[in-house]
Amino acid sequence: CIRDSVCVDTGTLLDHDEGMLVGSMARGLVFVHGETAESPYVASRPFRVNAGAVHAYVRTPDGGTKYLSELQSGDEVQVVDLEGNTREAIVGRVKIEQRPMFRVALETESGDRVETLLQNAETIKVASAAGRKAVTDLESGDEILLYYEDTARHFGEAVEENIIEK
């Protein structure tokens, strides 16, 4: 299906093991690699994370979240590496374009289901148990890196109330 997809271009270069945490549900954010890898399809863009659909959340340096559609030049986003180290990055621009997308659904060890929409492209990579993997190569049963917290959010801030996301 074709949806509005968001690329977050930062004002800093990302290392090969860095990306952002994004997701349709604030309690479970998928690690999406920056476009640092070489590809036969496009040149690397080591300042960019092709983050997902406009409705998705992205983690901010203060531990909150923002909708991808709300981001604009000058905002701060959290960059994370595969070891969990974080730093902040300034958004240089946000590019929204219509692209084919698909749903990535995950189940946590506790049985909770979370998901997100990602662009259906070979250049979009997630961190899997087998290493960096293109989303087009994902298969049922693959384990991918997920930031999970058992909390609800309201206006990007963690709250102690019962919110149902599905």
The pLDDT of residue 157 is 55
Helix/strand/coil for 136:
helix
164 occurs within a structural domain: no
Pairing of strands 57-59, 157-159: unpaired
Domain membership of residue 126 as a residue range: 2-148
Both structure tokens of 5? 């997809």
pLDDT band at 47 (very low <50, low <70, confident <90, very high): very high
pLDDT band at 115 (very low <50, low <70, confident <90, very high): very high
114 occurs within a structural domain: yes
39 occurs within a structural domain: yes
62 secondary structure, DSSP code: T
Please tell me the distance from the alpha carbon of residue 135 to that of residue 121, in angstroms, as a whole number: 7
3-state helix, strand, coil in the chain (%, to 5): 5, 55, 40
The answer to whether 154 and 163 have CB atoms below 8 angstroms apart is: yes
The mean pLDDT of 64-76, rounded to a whole number, is 96
CA geometry: angle at 99 spanning 94 and 103, to 5°?
100
Q: In the chain, how many domains are there?
A: 1
Q: Is the pLDDT of residue 162 over 80?
A: no
pLDDT band at 116 (very low <50, low <70, confident <90, very high): very high
pLDDT band at 166 (very low <50, low <70, confident <90, very high): low
120 occurs within a structural domain: yes
Please tell me the distance from the alpha carbon of residue 42 to that of residue 83, in angstroms, as a whole number: 27
pTM of the model: 0.89
158 occurs within a structural domain: no
Pairing of strands 57-59, 86-107: unpaired
Both structure tokens of 39? 């590809």
Q: Is the pLDDT of residue 2 over 70?
A: yes
156 occurs within a structural domain: no
Both structure tokens of 112? 């909770």
154 occurs within a structural domain: no
162 occurs within a structural domain: no
The mean pLDDT of 32-58, rounded to a whole number, is 93
With CA atoms as reference, report the closest residue to 165 among 21, 28, 73: 28
